[in-house]
Amino acid sequence: DTAVSQTPKYLVTQMGNDKSIKCEQNLGHDTMYWYKQDSKKFLKIMFSYNNKELIINETVPNRFSPKSPDKAHLNLHINSLELGDSAVYFCASSLRLGEGAFFGQGTRLTVV
Partner 1 sequence: GESVGLHLPTLSVQEGDNSIINCAYSNSASDYFIWYKQESGKGPQFIIDIRSNMDKRQGQRVTVLLNKTVKHLSLQIAATQPGDSAVYFCAENMERGSYIPTFGRGTSLIVHP
Q: Which is nearer to partner 1, 8 or 98 (CB)?
A: 98
Applying CB under 8 A, what is the total number of residues that bind partner 1?
22
How many Å apart are CA 57 and CA 71, to the nearest integer? Answer: 20
Residues 90, 56: Cα–Cα separation, whole Å: 15
| Helix/strand/coil for 112 | coil
Residues 20-59, mask of contacts with partner 1 (x by CB under 8 A): --------------------xxxxxx--x------x-x--
Site for partner 1 in 85-104 (CB under 8 A): 90, 92, 97-104
CA distance 30 to 24: 12
Residues near partner 1 (CB under 8 A) are: 4, 40-45, 48, 55, 57, 90, 92, 97-106
